[in-house]
A and B are shown apart, each in its own frame.
Chain A
Amino acid sequence: MARYLLKRILMMIVTLWIIVTLTFSLMHMIPGDPFASESDQLPEQILLNLRAKYHLDEPLPMQYLSYLKSLAMLDLGPSIKSETRGVNDMIKDGFGSSALIGMQAIAVALFFGLIFGIIAALNRNTWIDYMAMVMAVLGIAVPSFIMAPLLINYLAIKLPLFPVATLASWKHSVLPSLALAFGPLAIITRYMRTSMIEVMNQNYIRTAEAKGIPTFLIVVRHGIRNAILPVVTFLGPLVAGLLTGTFVVEKIFAVPGVGKYFVDGIFNRDYPVILGTTVFYSAILVLIIFLIDLAYMFIDPRIKLSGRGR
């Protein structure tokens, strides 16, 4: 167990290091630098000074090493476009909003996805099942960046139920969360339905039925616990998709989250911001997948992680 944990943590660090290196080298391959837009107006000397201030005049390996060094101390560096705020501040500012929307989306997707999946499986081949499946197919077919404008159009403009743009109150977070939750909800429904159908055909379920245990208890005690496993393995990629989905959703709803800083950073060629947010996102992602694997072990005691290859 301890060995497995150590190995996983080591792998996580290696993955992050590769991401940092890759991002760093890609960023510096870009033609043009953050001051390209000002290069016509500013005198030569000022440009040189600006580059010197952000160490852009140093040789690349030096820049790389100093970045790694500050990263080890969890300092993501200054932002080039913003005079006063560093990347740490941006993430600190944005993380709350992003996390709120992301967590709400996951919670909604998990809660309704599991319930819909279970209900569909228990009412197999009835209209309830078909309804759930139609919704699941729709959820896969309609990406979040289509879902978001549709929600704005119908639930904010035609029917002014919810406010949009920025994140002034909790009500503002409803539509972005829904737009994000829809896809994962559909996928969870599908997986839960399939695995629930399989579990409910098992012998131990029949035994429980034969003993006269009420259906509700069978479903809760035996069905869900076994059926949820394949869904849990799928949570990793799902969370990854949700995380990248936040870029667009935050852009559409003008939510001041980390995703907005990331997208702005790309357009401004603000190297430290792009690097910092990428590292931050990757770290979150790697961590979440690790936690999901751990959770898997607690749900299913049959799985012994130390024996697995990864």
Chain B
Amino acid sequence: MAAEQSANELFRPRSQKTDGQVVAMRPSLTHFQQVTRKLVRNKLAMVGFTLIVLMVLMALIGPHLVPYSYSDQSLLTANQELSAEHWFGTDELGRDMFSRTWYGARISLIIGITAALIDLVIGVTVGGIAGYMAGRGKRGDRIDTIIMRLIEVLYGLPYLLVVIMLMVVMEPGIVTIIIALSATGWTGMARLVRGQILQLKNQEFIMAAQVLGAKFPRILLRHLIPNTIGVIIVNLTFTIPSAIFAESFLSFLGLGVQAPIASWGTMTNDALGVILTGDWWRLFFPALMISLTMFAFNVFGDGLQDALDPRIRE
């Protein structure tokens, strides 16, 4: 009995909190946790992230913070400097710049995000099919070749020229811009995904899935795409700002959204006309917002890329 008791005392389970080797071990992290940790520690990326959140928030509530809509004209209060009534001043038609600026944010974000998502869907599907089909017999190779030729041709076309053409042909408006941007924009994503899939598909786990009888859509959705998701997301964070840029570029040229809808591009263009009168706020706010948005998405994308790169360790 005594021996048993002492044995029980001897083999008391160790308390979790005690010092020693157990604590010195690093808690194991999932891939996702590692990535978020690296990302959160990257100050610049977090600045970008905060800016993106703020921008989305202001796009949602900004226009409602003031009692003026983006298109309310009032010639009595035209060309006013910043004041308690008009936080960002007014333009030559007396429209409130604060309301217009955030309405423009709405337009930019809607176009940027929608265009990027369409690019994502088309790009991943086409790139995925091309990558998977390559090297599976004559028929598969032919499908891959056809897709790649198409992409090569589209990729070789001067992107903005084609978008400008499409904008000239179609009715101006938000939907048109999105269609025009995604008509050629998906090729980058498709190339990227195809390359990734080509690399992945000869690895053992794909072979194992095939041996177990998994069908192509299942392999694509469950195995190939989850493994390329990092690169895809990084690409997405760079497509959004370039779509936003393209929208302001087109609107600046007069081919984008039409008056009275406010967009940062049209606002910049309007500001050019009054540049000599010294109404600095007309140029300042849209210019600042475009630049901040481009900055935010780019630094966040950079940070994400670094965080997902397994070669960069802390």
Q: Report whether B249 and A281 are in contact in the complex, using a CB–CB cutoff of 8 Å.
A: no
Q: Report whether A145 and B268 are in contact in the complex, using a CB–CB cutoff of 8 Å.
A: yes
Q: Report whether B294 and A140 are in contact in the complex, using a CB–CB cutoff of 8 Å.
A: yes
State which size class the interface on A falls in: 35 or more
Query: Within 8 Å of chain A (Cβ to Cβ): is B281?
Result: no
Q: Which residue of A lies closest to B292 (CB)?
A: A141
In the complex, chain B residues 138-163 whose Cβ is within 8 Å of any chain A Cβ: 152-153, 156-162
Q: Report whether B248 and A282 are in contact in the complex, using a CB–CB cutoff of 8 Å.
A: no
The 8 Å CB contact of B161, one of A142, A152, A244, A248, is: A244
In the complex, chain A residues 235-271 whose Cβ is within 8 Å of any chain B Cβ: 240, 243-244, 247-248, 251-252, 263, 266-267, 269
Q: Which residue of B lies closest to A28 (CB)?
A: B169
Q: How many A-B pairs fall under 8 Å by CB?
A: 99
**Chain B residues whose C-beta falls within 8 Å of the C-beta of A153 in the assembled complex:** 275, 280, 283
The 8 Å CB contact of A282, one of B161, B169, B249, B255, is: B161
Q: Report whether A23 and B165 are in contact in the complex, using a CB–CB cutoff of 8 Å.
A: yes
Query: Within 8 Å of chain A (Cβ to Cβ): is B68?
Result: no
Q: Report whether A141 and B294 are in contact in the complex, using a CB–CB cutoff of 8 Å.
A: yes
In the complex, chain B residues 143-201 whose Cβ is within 8 Å of any chain A Cβ: 152-153, 156-162, 164-166, 168-169
| Max chain B C-beta neighbours (<10 A), residue from A138, A143, A282 | A143
Kindly state the separation between the CA atoms of A142 and B249 in the bound complex, as whole angstroms.
Answer: 12
Q: Report whether B156 and A15 are in contact in the complex, using a CB–CB cutoff of 8 Å.
A: yes
Interface of A is mostly: helix
Kindly provide the distance from the CB of A241 to the nearest chain B CB, expressed in whole angstroms.
8
Knowing A18-B157, A143-B245, A248-B253, the reply to whether A149 touches B268 (Cβ < 8 A) is yes
Kindly state the separation between the CA atoms of A149 and B274 in the bound complex, as whole angstroms.
Answer: 11
Knowing A137-B298, A243-B158, A247-B253, the reply to whether A149 touches B272 (Cβ < 8 A) is yes
Question: Can you list, as one digit per residue, whether each of A284-302 has a CB less than 8 Å from chain B (1) or not (0)?
Answer: 0110000000000000000
Kindly state the separation between the CA atoms of A255 and B124 in the bound complex, as whole angstroms.
Answer: 42
Interface of B is mostly: helix
**Chain A residues whose C-beta falls within 8 Å of the C-beta of B168 in the assembled complex:** 26-27, 30, 266, 269, 274
**Chain B residues whose C-beta falls within 8 Å of the C-beta of A263 in the assembled complex:** 253
Kindly provide the distance from the CB of B287 to the nearest chain A CB, expressed in whole angstroms.
5
Question: Can you list, as one digit per residue, whether each of B258-277 has a CB less than 8 Å from chain A (1) or not (0)?
Answer: 00000001001001100110
Kindly provide the distance from the CB of B260 to the nearest chain A CB, expressed in whole angstroms.
20
**Chain A residues whose C-beta falls within 8 Å of the C-beta of B294 in the assembled complex:** 140-143
Instruction: Give me the interface of A with B, judged by CB distance under 8 Å.
Output: 14-15, 18-19, 22-23, 26-27, 29-30, 137-138, 140-143, 145-146, 149-150, 152-153, 157, 240, 243-244, 247-248, 251-252, 263, 266-267, 269, 274, 278, 281-282, 285-286, 310
- List 7 A-B pairs, Cβ < 8 Å: A15-B153, A23-B165, A26-B165, A157-B275, A248-B252, A267-B254, A281-B161
Contacts A26-B169, A137-B299 given; 15 further ones with Cβ under 8 A?
Answer: A18-B157, A26-B168, A27-B165, A137-B298, A140-B295, A142-B294, A143-B245, A143-B249, A146-B287, A240-B159, A248-B252, A248-B253, A267-B254, A278-B165, A281-B158
